[in-house]
Amino acid sequence: MTSPLNLHLCQEDPPYFRKELADCEASVFGLEITIKNFVKLARASAELAQEYTAKQLQFAEELGVFARQQPDSIIKSVLIKYASSLQEVERSRRILNSHMHDMFIEPLESFAKNEILPLKDVKKGFDKASNEADFALSKYMNKRPRDSTIADASSEVSDTRKEFHYRYLDYVIKINQLEAKKKFEFMEYILALMFTESSFYHQSYETLKDLEPHMKDVTRLLHEARTEYNNDINESQQLKRSILESAQEAYNPLHSFKAGTKYRTHQDVDATIVKKSGYLFMKGNQRVIPSWTRKYFTISKELLNYCSKAGKVSKEDDESASINLRVCHVKPVSNSDRRFCFEVISPMRTYVLQAENQADMEDWIHCLQIAAEEALYANQPKSDSQISQDIQTNDIYSNKVNNGSSQNIQQSILRIKQLPGNECCVDCKSKDPQWASTNFGTLLCIECSGIHRSLGVHVSKVRSLMLDKWEPESIEVMSKLGNLKANQIFEAKLVGDDEKKLMNSSWERVDKEKFIIDKYVNKEFVVQKDENSIDLTFWKAMGDTNLQEALRCLSLGANVDWKNEQENCTTALHQAILRSDDVAVEFLLSWSCDIDEVDKNGWSCLHHAAATNNARLLLILMKRHANINLKDIDGKRPVDIAVELQKVQAVTVLRLYQFENQLTRSEYSNFGVGEALTSISKPYYTADTLCTESLYTEPEPEYIYLPNNSCDEP
C-alpha cells in the first residue's frame, strides 16, 4: 500500500509537501469529528431501541392477555403466536443493541483515543521542532562575517535541523499509518455493524414469516365474522320493527303488559317455580316526606330481590336488597294517596310498592302470594305420621320417646335463655331475644337476626328459638357457648373506655349493620394473638370439645378442614366421629366443614362412622348429603367397611339408604330409613325416656333386631 506522503521530502520540506501534510491533517482530524458523531448517534439509537423494545414487550404481553380471553381457538392461537413472535423479535433487538455497543461504539471510541489523540501530541512536537529550526537558522544568518559565535550558531542549526527532521519523519509516518488504518480498520467496524443489522432483520423476517398461514386463517374468519355481523344487523332491524309493532300497548301505563311471569300451584309440584320480574315504584322509609323510587324487582324462589335502575344494590337506611317471602304477607293498600299500590309486610318493615296499572298490580300480588305459599309449603311442619317416619340427626325413638324429647327440648331451650348473657341480644342488648345464631352459639333480637341473615349463611346461620325445630346436638352447642363466651371473643377489644363503642338497641339500623359487619365479618374487635399454629390449636380444642376456644381459633382464621399429619391426616370432624362426639360434629357442620374430606387412608367421615358402628352419626352425615359412594385408597366404600367389620347397624342404615336412593334417584329425598326401622319389632333405644338432668347425655347402648337374612351378603 503506497503511503500518501513521501518521507524523502521531509528533509527538503517544500511548500507543496507542507500543503499535502496539511490536507492529511484535515482528513485525520475530520475523521475524529466523524467518529464522535457516529458514537453520539449510535448511543442515541441504542437508547431509543431499548425504549422501543420495552414498549413492544409490554404490547406483546398485553396482546397475550387479550388473546387468552378470546373464545375462538383459532384467533386465540394466532394472537398468542403473534405475541410470542414479537417477543422473539425484541429479544433479537436487544442482542443487536448489545452488538452495536461491543462491535461499533466501543471500538470507535478506542480508535479515536488510541490513534487520533496521540497524533495530536506528535503534531505539537513537530510544530515546536519546526519553529526552533527556523529560529536557529534565522539567528545563524544574522551573524556578521567576523562574528566569533558563528561556529556555535552553526552547531545549533545542525542540532535543531536534526531534531526537526526526526520529528518530521515521525509525524509523517504516524499520519501515513493512520490513513492506512482508516482504509481497513475503521471500515471493519462499519462492516460488522452492517452484518449485525442484516442478521437481525433477516431473523425478524423469518420469525414473522411463519405467521403467514395463520394470518390467512384469521383473514378468512374475519370475513366470515363481518358477513355474519351484516346478517345480524339486518335481523336486528327486522326484530326491532317486529318488537315495536307488538309492543304498542305496553307504552301506555293504563294497559297491562306481562312479561317473564311463571308460577306453579301445589298440584303442579314438578312445574317451574314462580318467576316474575319488572319495575315497581317503592316508597321510601322517610317519616316526613317519603320519596318514591323506581326499582327493578325479581321473584326468585322465596326471595323478592330488588336493585336500582343502574343495577346497583339498594342501600337505603334499613333496607335489604332481598325480602324473604316466607315470613311476609302481601295485600293491596286501601287508603293510599297513590293508585295501584300494594304492601309486602315483613317482621322488620312494611314495603309499599306501586305498579303502573291495576292488572299489573293484581299480577304482582298473585305471584308474590304464590311464591310465599310455595316457600311455606316447601318447609311446612310435618304431620304426626310424617314425624314418626322422619330421620332425625339424633336417634330414632318410639312415639313415647318422641313426645318426651320434644318436651325436653323446650326445657333445654329455656335453660339456654338462662345462660349468662343470654337474657339479652348478643349485639344490641335488647331484652328477651327470640332468635339464635347456631354457629356462634348466641341469641339475637329479631332486628339483629335480620342483619345476620343478610350477611349470608357462610357467616351466620340464624334460626328461631320457638318456630324452628331444634335437635339435641344443636341445643348442646348453644349451651356450651352463649352470648357471654362469644362476646369474650368478638368484643374482646371493647373494654374500659372502648365500652362506649358497644352497640345498644337505640342505634339506627344502618349503624347496627356497620357494627355487626365489623364484629363478625371484619373481626375488628377480636384480639389478635401471635400463635405458631392456630390450626393445631383449633384441632386440639375440638378434641376436648372446647367450643369457645375453637370459636376463637376460627375467628383468627383457623382452617376448619385442617389435617393433622401426626394423626393420620385426620380432620377435627374425623376425630369427633371416632369418639362419637355428636356435639363437636354438629358444631363443625355448622361451620361448613368439608363432609367428604378424607384422611391418609382415604377414609371419609362415613367410613369412620361405619367402622365405629355409629348409626346415629351415619344418619346425620347422610342427611347432610355425605357421599356414600366415596372410596378409600383400597377402593372400599363405607358400606364395604361396615360389612367387612360386621357392623350390623351401620350395614342396615347404609343398605336402606342405597335402596331408597335407587327408587327415588334423588339424593335429597326422605330416604325411608325411618319407616324401615320403625317396622322392626324392637325399639331403636332401650331407654323409655330421655334424661332431663342435663342438656345432653350419652345414649344408652343401641340394639337393632334385623329381619332374617337382611344382611347375609354384602
Residue 548 has pLDDT above 90, yes or no: yes
pLDDT at 369: 85
Q: What does the block give as the cell for 482?
A: 352463649
**Amino acid at site 690:** L
Q: Which of the residue ranges 210-224, 488-502, 585-599 would you say has the lowest mean pLDDT? A: 488-502
Show Cβ contacts of residue 94 under 8 Å, excluding neighbours closer than 6 positions: 50, 53
Are the beta carbons of 307 and 314 closer than 8 angstroms? yes
Are the beta carbons of 433 and 567 closer than 8 angstroms? no
pLDDT at 130: 83
pLDDT at 262: 45
Its CATH architecture, for the domain 419-526, is: Orthogonal Bundle (1.10)
Its CATH architecture, for the domain 275-378, is: Roll (2.30)
Axis crossing angle, helix 399-417 with helix 472-480, rounded to the nearest 10: 20
Rounded Cα–Cα distance for residues 549 and 546 (Å): 6
Are the beta carbons of 295 and 308 closer than 8 angstroms? yes
Environment class of residue 202 by beta-carbon count within 10 Å: exposed (0-12), middle (13-18) or buried (19+)? exposed
> What angle (nearest 5°) sits at the alpha carbon of residue 618, between those of residues 706 and 536?
150
> Would you mind telling me the total number of residues written for the chain in this entry?
714
pLDDT at 250: 64
The confidence band for 683, taking pLDDT boundaries of 50, 70 and 90, is very low
- Measured CA to CA in angstroms, residue 228 lies from 231, 232, 233, 634 at distances of 5, 6, 9, 55
| Whether CATH 3.20.20.10 fits 9-210 | no
pLDDT at 387: 32
Rounded Cα–Cα distance for residues 695 and 413 (Å): 9
The confidence band for 89, taking pLDDT boundaries of 50, 70 and 90, is very high
Residue 593 has pLDDT above 80, yes or no: yes
Same CATH fold assignment for domains 275-378 and 560-714: no
The confidence band for 185, taking pLDDT boundaries of 50, 70 and 90, is confident
The confidence band for 488, taking pLDDT boundaries of 50, 70 and 90, is very high
Q: What b/e string do you get for 121-136 counting C-beta neighbours within 10 Å, with b at 16 or more?
A: ebbeebeebbebbeeb
Residue 648 has pLDDT above 90, yes or no: no
pLDDT at 355: 93
The confidence band for 699, taking pLDDT boundaries of 50, 70 and 90, is very low
**Average pLDDT of the segment spanning 260-279:** 55
| Beta bridge partner(s), residue 295 | 280
The confidence band for 254, taking pLDDT boundaries of 50, 70 and 90, is low
pLDDT at 61: 92
Domain boundaries, the chain: 9-210, 275-378, 419-526, 560-714
Q: What does the block give as the cell for 110?
A: 478506542
Are the beta carbons of 629 and 606 closer than 8 angstroms? no
Question: What is the overall mean pLDDT for the chain?
Answer: 79
Residue 543: which of 583, 572, 566 has the closest Cα? 572
| Beta bridge partner(s), residue 281 | 294, 354
Phi, psi of 478 (to 5 degrees): -60, -40
Rounded Cα–Cα distance for residues 498 and 487 (Å): 14
CATH topology classification for 560-714: 1.25.40
Q: What does the block give as the cell for 425?
A: 341480644
Greater pLDDT, 464 or 286: 464
Residue 383 has pLDDT above 60, yes or no: no
Rounded Cα–Cα distance for residues 576 and 582 (Å): 7
- What distance, in Å, lies between the first and last C-alpha atoms of the chain? 106
The confidence band for 663, taking pLDDT boundaries of 50, 70 and 90, is low
Greater pLDDT, 706 or 70: 70
- Measured CA to CA in angstroms, residue 637 lies from 348, 397, 613, 640 at distances of 48, 28, 14, 5
Residue 702 has pLDDT above 50, yes or no: no
**Amino acid at site 544:** D
pTM of the predicted model as reported, rounded to 2 decimal places: 0.43
pLDDT at 186: 80
Sheet of 462-464, strand order: 442-444, 435-437, 462-464
pLDDT in tens, 290-341: 789 999 999 988 889 999 876 554 444 434 488 888 878 888 987 778 889 9
